[in-house]
Structure 1
Amino acid sequence: MTATSPALLDRRLLMFTGKGGVGKTTVVAATAVEAARRGRRPLIVELGHRASMEGLFANRSIAYEPSQVTDGVWAMNLDFESALADYFEQHIPVKRVARTIMRNKTLQKFFQAAPSVAEVATLNKLSALEAEREGGKPRWDPILVDLDATGHALMLLNVPEVMTGLIGDGPMRRLIDGFSSLLADPRRTVLSLVTLPRELPAQETFELYQKLREHHKVALGALFINQVPERPLTPGQAGLLDRVQSRAKRANIGPLVDEVTLARRAMRYQANARAQINRLRRAITMPIVELPLITSRELDPEAIASLGRSAIEQLEDRSAEDANTSHARRMRR
C-alpha cells in the first residue's frame, strides 16, 4: 500500500486468507468491528459451512441472508447450495425450471463434483453483494470475505483465468469478466494474508506471497501476524535468571526452579517468534500488522474491538510514514 493508494477500509472488497488455524476469522471479525466503529456498514462473508464466525459474536446464528451480529456489523455464510440456487434463479428465465434443477439430487451431486461450479456460484454472489445499492450508495461498506484456507483461495482466484477459454458470450461470460475487473482493480479489491510467527506458517505464507505476486493480478493488502507474544522479561530481569536458578537449586526450592525453567521457555518462544517476524519483514513487501497473543478464553467483544483498532491504526501509521518518506525523497530531488 503506497501513500497514494486507498486505505484498507476504503476498498470495496477485502479478502483474507491464510493457513488453517492462524486466527484468520478473528482478524476478519476485528477488522469489521473497527470499520463499524468508524461509521461504516461492513458485511462479513464466511465461505462454506465452518460457522467459525458465530463463536466470536456470542453464538449469534449466521445464515445465508445477512444478519446483524453486533453493533453495525453484519454477517452471512455463503454456502454452495444457496449460492448455486441464486445463480440459477438469476440466469434461468423460468423460475420453476431453476427450482426444479436445484431439487434434482442427481444434478446436485453433479454440480458438487464438477470443477469450478462452486467457485463460479461464489463469484456470482460476491459480485451481487458488491453491486447492491441503497439510496445510491453501496449497501455494504466494505465486504470482508473470510476465504477458506490458502488452497481454496487460490482456486477461487484462478477461476476467471481458467474459465476464459471455456465459455462464450452470455451471462457467465459477463459474470467472469465483471469479477475479473473487480479483482484486478486495486482501488476496489485487496487480498490480505494472515499468519502466525512460527516457522511452518511463516514459510507457507512466504510461498503463497510468491505465487500471488507471480501468477495473480489481485492487489495485496496487509500481512497480519497474529498471536505475537510479548517479551516475557526485560533484559535486566533475564540477566538475573542464572543467579536465581543457582540459588534456588542450592536452597532446594523446587517451585522457583520450575518458574525459571518456564521463564527461559517463554523467552525462547518469544525469540523464535521475533525471528520469524523479522524473516517475513525482509522477504515480503506488504504492510505488516502485529497482533498480540490472546487466548480463546480472553477473546471477548472488547478484545476483538481492541485487535481491530490496533490493526487499522498500525496500517495508518505505516501509510503516514510512507507518505513522509515519499515527500522527503521528492524534496531531495
Structure 2
Amino acid sequence: MVLITGKGGVGRSVMTAVLARIAASRGKRVLVTEIGEESDDYSPLAKHFGRSRLPTQPEVVAPNTHGAVLLARTGQEMFLKSVLRSGTIARAALGSDALRKLLSAGPSFREMGVFFQLLNYLRGNEFDLILVDMPATGHTLSLTGLPELLLRLVPRGPIADSLREGQSYLNDPKQAAALIVTLPETLPVSECLELIEGLGKTKMPVGGVMVNRLPVDPFTEDERSKLTPLVTQHHWLGAEQFQRPLLARRELGRLRDNARVPIFTAPELPHEGLIDELVATLGAR
C-alpha cells in the first residue's frame, strides 16, 4: 500500500493515476482509492479514469485497475459487521440517529472508519498494490497516528485488535509506505521536510519524495552568466520565469541534503496529454 500525500496543489491525484497506470501495465492488480465524503459529487482522481467520482465499492475503472472511494460510514459498517456478525444489524445500528451523531462528532471516528475500510482491503489478496490519494498533509498524519492514539484510550477488545492489525501494516516498510509529492519551491519543500518528520513520529515508512513539475532550464551556464546582469539590472518582464530553474535547483538540493529518503523527479509538462507523458517518462525508469 502506498499513501500518496503532500500539500494541496502539488499533483497528488495526477501521480496516483500515473503510478496506477505504470503498475497495471506491468501486470499488477491495482486498487486506486481516495478519502471522500458521501456528499461529494466530483473527484480529481476519478476524472483521470473517465468518471466524476469513484464507486463506493471496488469496480474496474481501467485495465488491471479497480477504484473505490474510502468513506467513513462504509468502514464503520464493515467494522460493525465483523463484530456483530451480521450486515443487517450493522446497517440498522448505523441507521440510528444517536449513533450517527456520535460517529460524526469527532475527526477520530471518521478516520477510524477510513482506517477499517483500508484494513479490509489489505486483509484480502485481491490486489497487489493499493494506492491511496490522501487529502492534505494533516489528514495523513491523523490516519497514520490513529492506532497509537486510540490504543491509549481503548487498549483491549475488537477495536484494539483491529487497530493493532492495521498498525502492523502501516509500520511495515515491506507492506506500506508514504510517497510525498512536492514542488521544487521553498514553501512546498519546507512542508515536505516537516511531513517526513511527522510521519517518522507515527512510525510510517517514507518510500520517497516525488518532486513534481521540475522546470527544464533552456539556458546553458554560459548563457545564464551573460543574461543574469541584464535581467537583474533592467527588471525585464519574465525575470521571475528566468529565475525559476535556479530556484528549483536550489530547493531540490535542499531536499536532497535534508530528506534522507529517495528523491524522484517528474518534469514540468503541458497539461494536454500529461498523464500519458508522465507514464512514458516515469515508467521507463
TM-score (norm 1): 0.77
Q: Deviations over 1:39-90 (max 9, x none)?
A: 1111111111462111222336411111222222221111222222222222
Q: Which structure is richer in relative contact order (CA contacts within 8 A, separation 6 or more)?
A: 1
| C-alpha spacing 1:201/1:177, structure 2 compared with 1 (3 Å) | same
Give yes or no for the alignment of 1:225 onto 2:200: no
Any stretches of 5+ residues in structure 1 without a counterpart?
1-12, 133-137, 246-256, 314-333
Pairwise mapping of residues 1-333 of structure 1 onto structure 2 (< 5 A)?
Answer: 13-49=1-37, 51-59=43-51, 61-132=53-124, 138-213=125-200, 215-238=201-224, 241=227, 261-262=237-238, 264-299=239-274, 301-309=275-283, 313=285
Whether contact under 8 Å (1:32, 1:308) holds in the other structure is: no
State how far apart, in whole Å, the 1-side matches of 2:228 and 2:186 are: 28
Any stretches of 5+ residues in structure 2 without a counterpart?
none
Q: Secondary structure at the match of 1:289?
A: strand
| C-alpha spacing 1:200/1:244, structure 2 compared with 1 (3 Å) | closer
Number of residue pairs aligned between Structure 1 and Structure 2: 279
Q: Tell me which structure has the larger Cα radius of gyration.
A: 1
Q: In terms of mean alpha carbon deviation, does 196-205 or 76-85 score higher?
A: 76-85
Q: Secondary structure at the match of 2:264?
A: strand
State how far apart, in whole Å, the 2-side matches of 1:291 and 1:162 are: 36
Q: In terms of mean alpha carbon deviation, does 103-112 or 183-192 score higher?
A: 103-112
Instruction: Report the Cα offset of residue 241 of structure 1.
Output: 4.5
Whether contact under 8 Å (2:266, 2:278) holds in the other structure is: no
State how far apart, in whole Å, the 1-side matches of 2:175 and 2:162 are: 17
State how far apart, in whole Å, the 1-side matches of 2:106 and 2:120 are: 23
Q: Secondary structure at the match of 1:232?
A: coil
Q: For residue 234 of structure 1, what is the amino acid of its counterpart?
A: T
State how far apart, in whole Å, the 1-side matches of 2:188 and 2:210 are: 12
Q: Deviations over 1:253-276 (max 9, x none)?
A: xxxx99x743x4322011111111
Identical aligned pairs, as a percentage?
Answer: 27
